Structure 1
Amino acid sequence: MTLATGSIDNLNWLQIFFFGVYPYIALAVAVIGTWARFDLSQYTWKTGSSQMLSDKGMRIASNMFHLGILGILGGHFVGMLTPHAVYEHFISAEHKQLLAMGAGGVMGVICWIGLAMLLWRRFTDPRVSHTSSFSDKLVLVLLFIQLNLGLSTIVASTHHLDGSVMVALSNWAQNITIFNPMGALPNMDGISLVYQLHIILGTTLILIFPFTRLIHIISAPIWYLGRNYQIVRQKTSQ
Structure 2
Amino acid sequence: MSKLNLLMFGVYPYIALAICIVGSWARFDLSQYSWKAGSSQIFNRTAGEQRYMRIASNLFHVGVLFVLAGHFVGLLTPESIYHQVISTQKKQLLAMVSGGFFGTLCLIGLLMLVKRRLGDDRVRASSSASDILILLVLLAQLVLGLLTIVASADHLDGSVMVLLGTWAQSVVTLQPVQAAQAIASVGLVYKLHVFLGMTLFVLFPFTRLVHIVSAPVWYLGRRYQIVRQKA
TM-score range relative to shorter protein: over 0.9
Q: Which residue of 2 aligns with 1:29?
A: 19
After superposition, residues 130-145 of structure 1 pair within 5 angstroms as 130-145=125-140
Task: Give the TM-score, by structure 2 length.
Answer: 0.94
> What are the superposed Cα offsets for residues 217-237 of structure 1, whole Å, 9 maximum, x if unpaired?
000011223x15356475989
Cα RMSD, aligned residues only: 1.5
> What are the superposed Cα offsets for residues 97-116 of structure 1, whole Å, 9 maximum, x if unpaired?
00000000000100011101
Matched letter for residue 125 of structure 1:
D
Q: Aligned partners of 1:83, 1:159: CA distance in 2, in Å?
A: 23
After superposition, residues 1-238 of structure 1 pair within 5 angstroms as 11-54=1-44, 55=49, 56-225=51-220, 227-229=221-223, 232=226, 234=228
Q: Aligned partners of 1:68, 1:206: CA distance in 2, in Å?
A: 19
> What are the superposed Cα offsets for residues 155-206 of structure 1, whole Å, 9 maximum, x if unpaired?
0001110011101100100110121112212211310000000000000000
Q: Is the contact between residue 51 and residue 59 of structure 1 (CA under 8 Å) also seen in structure 2?
A: no
Q: Is the contact between residue 10 and residue 180 of structure 2 (CA under 8 Å) also seen in structure 1?
A: yes
Q: Aligned partners of 1:235, 1:219: CA distance in 2, in Å?
A: 32
Moved more, 205-214 or 176-185: 176-185
Structure 1 stretches of 4+ moved >2 Å: 228-237
Q: Could you tell me how far 1:75 is from its partner in structure 2? A: 0.5
Q: Aligned partners of 2:191, 2:102: CA distance in 1, in Å?
A: 21
Q: Aligned partners of 1:235, 1:125: CA distance in 2, in Å?
A: 36
Task: Give unmatched runs, 5+ long, in structure 2.
Answer: none
Task: Give the TM-score, by structure 1 length.
Answer: 0.91
Q: Is the contact between residue 209 and residue 215 of structure 1 (CA under 8 Å) also seen in structure 2?
A: yes
Matched letter for residue 169 of structure 2:
Q
- The alignment partner of 2:22 has SS state of helix
Q: Aligned partners of 2:155, 2:193: CA distance in 1, in Å?
A: 18
Q: Aligned partners of 1:112, 1:148: CA distance in 2, in Å?
A: 8
Q: Which residue of 2 aligns with 1:6?
A: none
Structure 1 233/134 Cα, relative in aligned 2: closer, same or farther at 3 Å? Answer: closer
> What are the superposed Cα offsets for residues 45-98 of structure 1, whole Å, 9 maximum, x if unpaired?
001111222311122111101111111001001111111110112100000000
Moved more, 46-55 or 151-160: 46-55
- The alignment partner of 2:84 has SS state of coil
- The alignment partner of 1:21 has SS state of helix
Q: Aligned partners of 1:52, 1:156: CA distance in 2, in Å?
A: 41
Number of corresponding residues: 226
Task: Give unmatched runs, 5+ long, in structure 1.
Answer: 1-10
Moved more, 102-111 or 13-22: 13-22
Structure 1 232/128 Cα, relative in aligned 2: closer, same or farther at 3 Å? Answer: closer
